Amino acid sequence: MTDDALRQFVGYGMKRAFHAIQQDVTAALQPYGLRMLTFSALAVIGQSPRLRQSALADILAIERPNLVLILDELERAELITRDRARDDRRAYELSPTIRGRRLLEKAVAAVAAHDARMTRGLSAEERAVLIRAMARIEANGRGEDDGTGDLADGRGAVSQA
Amino acid sequence: MTDDALRQFVGYGMKRAFHAIQQDVTAALQPYGLRMLTFSALAVIGQSPRLRQSALADILAIERPNLVLILDELERAELITRDRARDDRRAYELSPTIRGRRLLEKAVAAVAAHDARMTRGLSAEERAVLIRAMARIEANGRGEDDGTGDLADGRGAVSQA
DNA sequence: TATTGTTATACTCTATAACTATA
DNA sequence: TATAGTTATAGAGTATAACAATA
């Protein structure tokens, strides 16, 4: 009558937690006309002006075709500019507008509040472990091992099953 | 040139980690003709025979309409049965078939191996913190506070912003 | 009237192939 | 030839409204 059997799996809990986060952050960003993907793109562009689309796609780990509509949205809202690169006329350089910088500042605060809301009840240590664990999982998905080089042999799947 | 600014947010890391998990578990379940949602449904039904669809939808936190196709898929594969409830002829009782039980057993092992693969490099303690943290986030999304009743006042968002 | 399961539908996110214009 | 950006498209997952059968 419960999902106890599934709760042992990281993926099941993460799916449910991420769904909750997705809903909350979407609501938090709505007043700014942003969603998770446009916010993420704007945040990276804000920190790295003159970034190219393909570089941004790599950083955000999204496919180039899917980035196009995200940038269209940001450009239409006059939050970023797409300028032809002088040294490579195929490429665009992405930069935030003043308006984009201002909106980003507010949106970052809103997302920080959202984050605090969703992680309420977790200690700073637990939160740090959470973030590191998710980075580790992501790296494992890319087939990377950790840097320690002592236990992992690249074959087994032993840990705590 | 990086996503450092976003890495401070739990949601960003979780999105990327979940994407990695989703890909890996999908591949792990493919040989069994299952996907994450059909696996989850089968796992709950396997543990709670004669479960009703609406109860299953509640447990898995998915909308009733979306459960229909999932169960169609499991029924077509002869992994579960849908039997009219004797006491309420609107309702169906969901039970695993023998075949469903056998497949579930193998699929659980495959998912456990997937889980071990994705969490490789995490200690048992880190893994436990991860799972508890995600449950906490999910509960925060439902507007629940933790059971401690000392610091939370239901208004603020103070923690580690 | 309310509930169970269903149908239809729409929206978001993701993935791939193929195109254009440059290199 | 290969690369940057684009278009078109298809597939998941999720959400809501409305319906038939039954309570």
Q: Is the CB of B90 under 7 A from strand C?
A: yes
The C-alpha of B38 sits at a distance from chain A's nearest C-alpha, in angstroms, of 12
Sheet holding A80-84, edge to edge: A51-52, A92-96, A80-84
Average model confidence (pLDDT) across chain A: 92
CB contact set of A64 (below 8 Å; sequence gap of 6+): A53, A54, A57
Express as a percent the part of chain A with pLDDT over 90. 88
Average model confidence (pLDDT) across chain B: 92
- Does the beta-carbon distance from A21 to B141 stay under 8 Å? yes
Residues 55-74 of B with CB under 7 A from strand C: 64-65, 67-68, 71
Task: Give residue B144's pLDDT.
Answer: 83
Measure the CA–CA gap between A125 and B130, rounded to whole angstroms: 11
Q: Is the CB of A92 under 7 A from strand D?
A: yes
pLDDT one-digit tens code per residue, B102-161: 999 999 999 999 999 999 999 999 999 999 999 999 999 998 866 665 434 433 333 333
Which among A11, A23, A111 has CB closest to B25?
A11
Q: Residue A144: pLDDT band by 50, 70, 90 thresholds? A: confident
For B41, which residue in chain A has the nearest alpha carbon?
A: A3
- Does the beta-carbon distance from B18 to A16 stay under 8 Å? no
